[in-house]
Structure formats: C-alpha cells, structure tokens
Amino acid sequence: MSWIHVMVLTPFIFATIVPYLYKKFNQKIHTGWFVFFIPVFIFAYLITFIPEISGGNTFMKILPWLPSYNIDFAIYMDGLSLIFALLIAGIGALVVLYSIYYMSKDREALHNFYVYLLMFMGAMLGLVFSDNIFVLYVFWEMTSVSSFLLIAYWYEREKSKYGAQKSMLITVFGGLAMLAGLIMLAMMSDTYSIREMLTSHNLEAITSNTLFLPAMILILLGAFTKSAQFPFSIWLPDAMEAPTPISAYLHSATMVKAGIYLVARLTPIFGGTGEWFWIVTGVGLVTLLYGSVNAVRQTDLKALLAYSTISQLGLIMSLLGMGSGALYFGYGDESFIYATAIFAAIFHLVNHSTFKGCLFMVVGIIDHETGTRDLRKLGGLMHLMPISFTLMIIGGFSMAGLPPFNGFLSKELFFTATLQAANMSIFNLANLGFVIPVIAWVASIFTFIYSMILVFKTFRGKHRFVRVDKPVHEAPFGMLISPLILAILVVAIFFFPNLFSKYFLLPAWEGVLPSLAQAGELSIKLSPWHGWTPELIMTLGVVGLGILMYLYIRKWYRIYNYYPQALTLNTIYNFSLENMEVLSKKATNKYMTGFIRDYLVYIFAFIVVIVGGVFWTFGGFTFDVSQDADINIYEAGLVIAMIISAVTVLFSKSRLTSILAIGALGFLVSFFFVLFRAPDLALTQLVVETVTTVLFLLCFYHLPELRKEIGKIPFKMTNAIISIGVGVIITVVALSAKGTRLFDSISSYYENSYELAGAKNIVNAILVDFRGIDTMLEILVLTMAGLGVYTLIKLRMARRDKNEGAE
C-alpha cells in the first residue's frame, strides 16, 4: 500500500475514532479541532506533488483488491485529479475550522457531523484518484450516501429529511444509470482502467461500437444528476437545509463538482463527437440560464446561492462541452484554439470554489448573528458587520465577473469560448452557433443582478430585522478566518493568474486532453486587459444592462408571477413521487394478498415463463442421451414407487397418510443413493427423513381437530398448469444442462482431494475444505436462527410469568 492510498483512506480510518474523541473530550475541547488536522495534513501532503505534476509527470499506484475480477484500487494522480484533491482537502480544512465556531459543542451531535464529513471527504478523494471505473463508482455512491447523511443532519426537521431524500433519489438514480454506462464502456474497451481506455486501439474500439451512444448518455445522466444540471437541479436548493458548513463544502467545492470531474475525465473518450458536444454544451447553457434567472427571484440567501451554484455549474459544464470540439480537429493549431474552453472550465471551477465558499460562509455568519436568512427581513448590516460586508463584496463581485477579482478573468475566457464555438464550422454550428454567445450573455446579466442583490439588499438600506436575544455584531474572528482566506485567494489569483496557471491550471488542462498536450503546449496568457475585444464589449453590456435592471427590478420582477406553478420542476417531482407511491401501493396490494398459494403462483409462474422463454429463445433445450447408462428394473421400480407416493400425497384425505407418503418418498430417494454407490448420502437422507417424519407426526398429533371435515378438493386448472409447467421446466433444464458441456467437468479437480486436502472422501473434502467457509456460514445461519427461536420462547415465558405474578 502506497502513501497515496493511506492518504485516501485516512478520513475513513479517523472517522471510526471520532465518536470516542467526542465522548472523551467534547466537554473540554471542540471535536472539530481533532478533525481539523486531517484535511490540513492531506493538503500539505498533496502540495509536495505540485513540482512533479507541473513538470508533466504523473503517478500510478496499484493496490490489489479483487484481482480475480481485475478490480484493483488503482490511484492515478495527474494535474486534473490533483487540483480537485487540493480543493477537497483545502476547502475541507477551512470548512472544519469554520464549523468549530459555527457548530455548538453543547447543542449539536458533533460526532455524527464529523463522521459524515470525513466519510464524504474520503469518498471524494477516492473518486478523483480512482483509475478503475468500478472503484470510482463505489466512491461515487459513497458520496451520495454521506451527503444524504449530512443534508439530513438536522433530521428532526421535515425540510431536512425532504431535501436529503430528494438528493438521494435523484443522485442515486443517476449513479445507477452511470453504472450501466460504465459496464458498457468496459465491454467496449475490454478493460476497467481509464488510462488503458485512452490508448489509440481502445479508443477506436469504443467509438466504432454500437454501444458508444447509449454508454455516453447513461454516463452523462450520472454526471448531470450529481452536478445539478437541468432538469435534475431541483435537489440542490432543498439540500440547503443542511448546516452552512456543509453547504459551503458540498455545494460549492466538492460534491457538485463530481459530475464536472467525470465529464472532464471522460472527455478524451467521448469528446470530438457531435453528440457529446451538443449534449454537454446544451445542457450546460440551459442550466446556466435556468439557475441565473431563478436566483434573482429568491428571498432566502442560501436559496439564492443554491441557484447561483446551479448557474455556475452550468457555465463550467458548457465550457467542457465547447472545449471537447477541439478533439475533432486532431492535433493542429485549430485544436489548441478551441481547447481554450477546457482551460476556462478548470479556471472557473477553481474560482467558483473560492468565491462561492466565501459567500456561503458569510451567509452563515449573517444567519448566525441575525437569526434569519430572509432578504425581506435583512438590510443595514454594513455598519454593524463591516468585515462580513467586505467579504461579501469580494465574493459577490467575483461571481458577477467584475475586476479586480478572479471571476472576471474566467468570465472573460467564457465569453471567448462562446465566440469561438459560434465560429466553428462543425456540428452544424454554422447555423446554430450564434445561440451560444446569446444565451451566455443573457445569463450573465442575470448573474450580475443576483450578485448585486446578494451584496446590497443584505448590507445596505434600513434595518428590517429584530434580534431580541442579543445585539447584532460582527462574527468572532475565528469564524471569519476561513472566508477571509478564500477572499484573499480571490484577489490574489486576479493579480497573479499566470503563476497560478503554470502550477495548477495548465497541468489540469493536460489531464483533460492528454493526447493534445503531447502534441504541443497551450499558449495562453492571462491578463485583465486585452484591449477593446468583443469579450470586453460583452462585459460592458452585462454591467450596463445589469445595473439598469437591478435599479428598476420592481418594474419587471412581476413577470415571475406569470409562470404557472403547476409546471415547475419541483411541482412535477412532488406530483410524480406522490403518484408513484399511490401506484406502488395499489400494485403491492394486488399481489400481497396474505395467501401463500398466491405467492407460490407468482413465483412458479415467473420461473416457467422466464426460464422457459429464455431457453426457447436461445435454443437451450438440447438433450444428449448417448452417454447415459441403461435403466435397470430396480431403478424403474423405484421411480414408479416414488410417483405413487407423490400422487398419494395429492389425493389423500388423511393427514397421517400424507405424512407417511412424504416420508416414503424420501426413503425411496435414499435407495437411489444406495444404487448409485453413495452410502454417505444414503445414510444422511435416511436420518433426515426419519427425523422429519417423526417431527411431522409429533406436530400434527398436537394440532387441533378440524371443525369441518375436508370434502372433495376441487380441481383448479391454474394449479395443474403451473405444477406441470414447473415440473416439466425443471426436468428439461436438468436434462439440457446434463446434455450440454460448455466446459470441462469440475469433478476432475476434486479427484485429487487426498493430495489437496488430505481427505479420502471427496464429499467430505468438498464440504469441509473446498467449501469450508460456505459450510461454516450455513452453520452460523442455523445457529442464529436457533438463538432467535430460543430468545422468542424465553421472552414469551418471561411475559407469561410476569402476568401470572401480577394476578
């Protein structure tokens, strides 16, 4: 196991210790201080890789996990995975530090909070470092589970439970779709390694396969649901019911970026095709516009940030789609021009994590100090909370794309990418390309508006809030440290973008487009001033029209009222969920009748139809009797006797007769074992049949007499058809299995039982040695069942003794 593996597993290991630390030290010291050093150490360890990664090196470490299935915990570190990991660990450390002052150690179950947080941190690290697609999927679903627990942290609140359920349903649905797509990808490439899929041979096999498009769509479903792309974005606003540190971590820097990472990582496989370009770009642009337009109408600060996150994620996703078009052009100069969009996507991903993390923490401070997040109740905080106001300006203006903040640089690159995409001569962009910059420009106007709302409606104006329990003042310094560090990064990246680009952005760009990086270097110089370019004119238009619309927002705000509420995505989701519950209840009541006969009818009918249909469709009914031995008179006599015993059970009117007939059937089977020279099986069968027959007789002896004698049992055609069908299907399947040899018999392996296990009896060797764990678990199950029966009897006896004592 390498140190990188240890790094990924450290959050999981430490999560098991947190409850003990909480129980032992919580009254003396906040549990968060113990947790804080985990992401700090991980971040410090990751920094040591920056010189090597920025120099073009990569690292692959393999830890065998399921080698027989070719599934290993293979960690691959390049520029892309490193920049994500730095965000996960770095912002994770700041969030933990922030939570120490935000979460009360006296009123909160901090052991649960930090266990869930560490689980999520470890799952995200495992996700971005995994090279094996199925290991990646395991971590992917772990993020869904841990985020569900974090969102439902305040589980006593209905909104928290609702938001957690919604996020789980949507993201797990996408995860299952993604799993199907990954299986198809593995089938096409005959490998589970993403690195191996990128070889020219495997890429050709994937792109030429008929499963290429279905796999692409299914994988994108997983990415879109996780990254809150339209129309799956409805889970993100409801997830804001989680504590603010969780919102700052999950919904600005980590979980919602998992889908972004997946699209970026798989761009070399699916990129360069029209389907990937239009689906990713189109969904991203629609999400950008949807999120920005809806953010303006929000009155809750965290809801506003949620929709702003949706819009920013759409922006990043659209950039990845636009940049994928570079792969269509091969390795020429034109490829590097259009690949700038990939660089812009990575740049804005980092910028968004910094300014949005800062904004979430400031909103948490406002909620913590004033007791409300409602914009209708806020205002006039500028003089009471000057530091928070400054931090809000830095984060809000960066989100609006204004200088001197990092959001301005990546927003300019976004406009550049949209204009380049509009000028492409591929994928029918000559006719439809103009739509891309138009949507981007309109969405940017609404982005500017909601950024101004966030800053000025919260901190300027008159006081509209009332806090009777304590006066409103600036947050304690400890709570300000984390957003202050992020705000410093927002400004620093603006003034030193090329230094940041050299060590972080360009290596990440090479990780998204490794084949293009091998053909040459991306020549890009980041600067706040490039002259009077079309991008600058678009920005001036955004600022000018944005200011005008913000000042006169009351004049046009009422247009939101004209949209019918019945057609909102949340209404459709709630309606669908309610109706699915009603339909499932009706369907369940249809087959859950309470009668064993009905259940057996469903089970056996399913066996007959499915098994028989599959065998019939694929020609599985094959019979080969050439190797069969002759049937002697003893065997024929036993078969006839068995048939008579079975028929006697069916038509007997006496319990005693039926039990004896069943016992006779079992004893006749044991005679077959004698004929086939299996004395151990014959002895076992005789013992079992003797014991069960005696037990049956004992049980039926103590049963009450029937109040009404059973008359003639009516004939039921359904029973007859299913019984005969099951018998025929099982018989022909057994004969077909016997007559079809796809592989060599496994019996030859067990013939060496004495050499392999020291046993002279093959059956004993199989049960005790070759299948020893299986047999041990069967015994364990029986032991547990016996203990359960014993416990129930003892409880019943104790209850009876208690009742007798009360009398």
Whether the per-residue pLDDT at 807 is higher than 70: the answer is: no
Percent of the chain with pLDDT over 90: 44
pLDDT-derived band at 794, boundaries 50, 70, 90: confident
Q: Which two tokens stand for residue 727?
A: 């018998």
- The residue type of 451 is S
Mean pLDDT of 504-519: 87
Percent of the chain with pLDDT over 70: 96
What are the distances in angstroms from CA 32 to CA 44, 90, 110, 359, 373? 18, 15, 8, 22, 25
Residue in the block written with tokens 């004495």: 754
Pick the more confident residue, 595 or 6: 6
Note whether 501 and 83 are within 8 A (CB): no
Q: Which residues make Cβ contacts (< 8 Å) with residue 453, sequence separation at least 6?
A: 296, 304, 375, 550, 553
Give the model's pLDDT for residue 467.
Answer: 57
- The residue type of 766 is I
Angle between helices 274-296 and 212-226 (to 10 degrees): 20
Whether the per-residue pLDDT at 711 is higher than 80: the answer is: no
Q: Which two tokens stand for residue 243?
A: 């504590």
Whether the per-residue pLDDT at 707 is higher than 70: the answer is: no
Q: Which residues make Cβ contacts (< 8 Å) with residue 472, sequence separation at least 6?
A: 369, 370, 381, 384, 385, 465
Residue-averaged pLDDT of the chain: 87
Tens digit of each residue's pLDDT (9 = 90 or more) over 544-558: 999 999 999 988 888
Global pTM?
0.80
Whether the per-residue pLDDT at 220 is higher than 80: the answer is: yes
CA proximity to 411, closest of 429, 278, 541, 403: 403
In this structure, how many other beta carbons lie within 10 angstroms of the beta carbon of residue 247?
27
pLDDT-derived band at 322, boundaries 50, 70, 90: very high
Give the model's pLDDT for residue 407.
Answer: 92
Note whether 46 and 82 are within 8 A (CB): yes
Tens digit of each residue's pLDDT (9 = 90 or more) over 331-360: 666 788 888 899 999 999 999 999 999 999
Three-class SS string for 528-540? CCCCCCHHHHHHH
Mean pLDDT of 474-496: 93
Angle at alpha carbon of residue 336, lines to 335 and 342, rounded to 5°: 100
Give residue 584's Cα distance to chain centre. Answer: 24
Give the model's pLDDT for residue 117.
Answer: 93
In this structure, how many other beta carbons lie within 10 angstroms of the beta carbon of residue 26?
16
Phi/psi at 64 (nearest 5 deg)? -60, 135
Whether the per-residue pLDDT at 764 is higher than 60: the answer is: yes
- The residue type of 329 is F
Phi/psi at 129 (nearest 5 deg)? -100, -10
Phi/psi at 63 (nearest 5 deg)? -120, 115
370 vs 154: CA distance, rounded Å: 20
Give the model's pLDDT for residue 218.
Answer: 96
Q: Which two tokens stand for residue 318?
A: 């659209």
800 vs 807: CA distance, rounded Å: 11
Number of H helices, E strands in the chain: 39, 2
Tens digit of each residue's pLDDT (9 = 90 or more) over 226-264: 999 999 999 999 888 888 899 889 877 678 889 999 999
What are the distances in angstroms from CA 278 to CA 144, 273, 380? 27, 9, 45
pLDDT-derived band at 678, boundaries 50, 70, 90: confident
Report how far apart the first and last C-alpha atoms of the chain are (Å, whole number). Answer: 67
CA proximity to 254, closest of 111, 491, 89: 89
DSSP label at 770? I
Mean pLDDT of 17-43: 90
Q: Which residues make Cβ contacts (< 8 Å) with residue 498, sequence separation at least 6?
A: 525, 526
Whether the per-residue pLDDT at 368 is higher than 60: the answer is: yes
- The residue type of 606 is F
Burial class (CB in 10 A: 0-12, 13-18, 19+), 204: exposed
209 vs 342: CA distance, rounded Å: 26
Residue ranges per domain, the chain?
Answer: 3-567, 759-807
